[in-house]
Structure 1
């Protein structure tokens, strides 16, 4: 089984998750933020409707995807082949994410590159 709290991100994986623990999670983090499912029913967090419908900036999406993988800025910058300062500027909205960089981020994270590009600009 899998119990997931969406915010703050908490995952509990076990053969059986006791009902009192599920009640505690729902009482503490609100029922709408807690999902419990069998392992065969689970999907990657990035593929959930909740994650797809987030109204986030490209920088926030970079941070969210990096945090999901427990990667530091140094690790992601190395994978992207850029300096940490440039990654930090993108995450904080001081530097725009180019289409080319959005594609690269999508490849590295295995997600849709559109999440990292602001089409309004």
Structure 2
């Protein structure tokens, strides 16, 4: 995958956000830095850039996907945190967006996660 190779070679990549799934943390039209990631060091609330549906996506890392036959990782959006994203295979994780997450963003996420099903 060309994007992943460029991130790994240059150690830096810029991505323009085209979806509102992570607002207000990542805003549509804004550009963000992407850096390579060691998959063994990912932790919950890291913002990962991954390839899905023929385009790059950025969501929170949620943990390893352990159910079923598919090995991979789980992610959640800020807009719809209770929705279950498809598992992401290792090779489709492109990097991370190194943003220091503010407490208010975690509160927004957790509020939506627990109360959006109501």
Q: Which bin holds the TM-score, normalised by the shorter protein?
A: under 0.3
Name which one, 1 or 2, has greater alpha-carbon Rg: 1
Q: How high is the TM-score relative to the length of structure 1?
A: 0.25
Larger helix percent: 1
Could you say which structure has the higher strand fraction?
2
Please give the TM-score of this superposition, normalised by the length of structure 2.
0.25
